[in-house]
Amino acid sequence: MDNTNSIFEIKDYGKINFHVKEIMDAKNITRSKLSKLANVRFEVADKWYNGNIERMDIDVLTRICYVLDCNISDLMTYSK
């Protein structure tokens, strides 16, 4: 069995890069404002802003896309 794309061996899987900070800065939206508009705690908005997301809540992601008027692909990219 070919395990080329298997997670059973330890290797570099790539990285998810977040671009929320750049979008928020371009639109002059603060973390505090995002937290109010998206109805999330400030700590959640801060984690998205700094790219420190540990677990992704699809509902929160949807609200952030709505508030920032963007697509998911604008918020994050995958690089190998």
Condensed to tens digits (0 to 9), the pLDDT of residues 9-47 reads 777 888 999 999 999 999 999 999 999 999 999 999 999
Architecture of domain 15-79: Orthogonal Bundle (1.10)
**Does residue 2 carry a pLDDT above 60?**
no
Average pLDDT over residues 52-67: 96
Residue type for position 45: A
Buried-exposed string 37-54: b where 16+ CB fall within 10 A, e elsewhere: ebebeeebbebbbeeebe
d(CA 75, CA 21): 9
What is the pTM (predicted TM-score) of this model?
Answer: 0.81
Average pLDDT over residues 49-78: 96
